[in-house]
Amino acid sequence: MLCVKMPEEQAFCVLVNIMYQYGLRNLFRQGFEELHLRFYQLERLIQVTLLHSTEKVMFLKKLFRLLGF
């Protein structure tokens, strides 16, 4: 998504800054333990807060739109 808005080198620098500022770098360290933990937490949050499958789909669509997918 960043490459669409700016040159590739600048997009990479922005990505690196985002990874450090928001702690996303830890998600992709060896073994992906932090990433697996976050996915588990998201899955539990969805199970606890959303009761109907329609609501789940709408929630996930909004989430992925927010993340830029």
Q: Are residues 68 and 54 in the same domain?
A: yes
Query: pLDDT tens, 1-46?
Result: 677 888 999 999 998 999 999 988 888 888 888 888 988 888 888 7
pLDDT for residue 53 is more than 60: yes
What percent of the chain is helix, strand and coil (3-state, nearest 5)? Answer: 80, 0, 20
* pLDDT at site 28: 85
Do 8 and 35 fall within a single domain?
Answer: no
Q: For residue 65, what are the domain limits? A: 31-69
Number of structural domains found in the chain: 2
Mean pLDDT of all residues in 38-66:
77
User: Could you give the CA distance from residue 35 to residue 3 in angstroms, rounded to a whole number?
Assistant: 24
- Token pair 């360290």: residue: 29
pLDDT of residue 16: 92
- Examine the domain organization and report whether 9 and 36 are in the same domain: no
Round to whole Å and give the CA distance between 6 and 63. 24
In sequence order, which residues have a C-beta less than 8 Å from that of residue 14 and are 6 or more positions away? 2, 6
